[in-house]
Amino acid sequence: MFISAKQLRLIFNLVVICLASYGCNSTPSTVEAAVASDAPKPVAEPRQPEKNVAEAKKPVKAKEGEPKPAEDANLFNRLLKSRKVKSKSLKDDGIHDPAGPGVKVLQNPQQAFKDLPKAKGGNAVDWVKALNTGKIKPRSSLEDPKAEALVMDMNIIREVKGSMPNVLFPHKQHTQHLDCTNCHPDIFIPMKGANKMSMAKNLMGQQCGVCHGKVAFPLSRCTACHSQKKAAKEIKKTKWKWP
């Protein structure tokens, strides 16, 4: 008995339909696939902008009678650009809290920094030199004007790979400004080898970047931290390859 190609195709389709009717179609059948391929595809509607995102970007407006909200003073300056303050009033500079009690008694930075040693980066003041020369003397306590700071005169050397100078961290200048609890143990664990330093973390506002780039000199002043030069024999040549 001779079966034509047309009859063979019809038998094959009937077998597929029978298998589908008994629940054996774990995958789409040939007939279903053919129908699906011929069916018109739905046209995707244009995506509407999210209202929540747009509203979140809008600046917060102060109500009548309330002071204008200040911008985040701790915002990290990743582009290391100088922030030019147009307003001479501390209430309108976008940094100080206009509702704060001290905003009326604080001296304008242009006047306060006039006689201090100059620097190229940050707020244009060399604070370490100002400390060493006695131009400034930070107060240790708000409550007790006679309180003395616990100054720790100890340097830590962080070895750096390649030809970059090592980092010399002076505890003295930091503890003249800050109490130990400002850094330990939340930012740095006070134990040798317990802190894995990373420039990437610093640039993202962690570790040293908690202060530097915000209230202290920016990370663009590389030689301020990388100040200990290496001998020629210490510089190891490294072969770097693309991963």
Instruction: Indicate the pTM of the whole model.
Output: 0.57
Per-residue pLDDT band for 64 (boundaries 50, 70, 90) equals low
What confidence score (pLDDT) does residue 119 get? 87
- Name the least confident of 27-41, 82-96, 193-207: 27-41
- Delimit the CATH 3.90.10.10 region(s) of the chain: 115-236
Q: With cut-offs at 50, 70 and 90, classify the pLDDT of residue 26.
A: very low
Phi, psi for residue 56 in degrees, rounded to 5: -70, -30
Res 70 pLDDT > 70: no
- Which DSSP letter does residue 31 get? H
What would be the CATH architecture of the domain defined by 115-236? Alpha-Beta Complex (3.90)
Least confident segment among 34-48, 120-134, 140-154: 34-48
- For residue 124 the two structure tokens come to 């244009």
Report which residue type is found at 29: S
Please state, in angstroms and rounded to a whole number, the distance separating the CA atoms of residues 149 and 176.
Answer: 7
Tokens of 158: 């962080």
Between 122 and 113, name the one with better pLDDT: 113
Structural tokens at position 233 = 């024999």
3-state helix, strand, coil in the chain (%, to 5): 30, 5, 65
- Average pLDDT over all residues of the chain: 75
Quick one: which of 157, 192, 152, 187 has its CA closest to 173? Answer: 152
* pLDDT over threshold 80, residue 20: no
Q: Which residues contact 126 (CB under 8 A, 6 or more apart)?
A: 116, 117, 118, 119
> Residue for token digits 């920094």?
113
Tens of pLDDT, residues 198-230: 999 999 899 999 999 888 888 888 999 999 988
C-alpha to C-alpha distance for 219 and 12, rounded to whole angstroms: 74
- 157: confidence class by pLDDT, cuts 50, 70, 90: very high
Q: How many residues does the chain have?
A: 243
> Six-digit token pair at 37?
């391929």
Percent of the chain with pLDDT over 90: 27
Give the contacts of 131 (CB within 8 A, at least 6 positions apart). Answer: 138, 173, 176, 177
Q: What's residue 66's pLDDT?
A: 57
Q: Is pLDDT at 141 greater than 70 in this prediction?
A: yes
Token duo for residue 62 = 């102060």
Q: Which two tokens stand for residue 29?
A: 């059948």
pLDDT at 36: 46
Distance of CA 85 to the CA centre of its chain: 23
What is the rounded average pLDDT of the residues 86-113? Answer: 79
226 backbone φψ class: left, alpha, beta (φ>0; ψ -120 to 50): beta
Q: What single-letter DSSP state applies at residue 207?
A: G
pLDDT band at 29 (very low <50, low <70, confident <90, very high): very low
pLDDT over 60 at 33, yes or no:
no
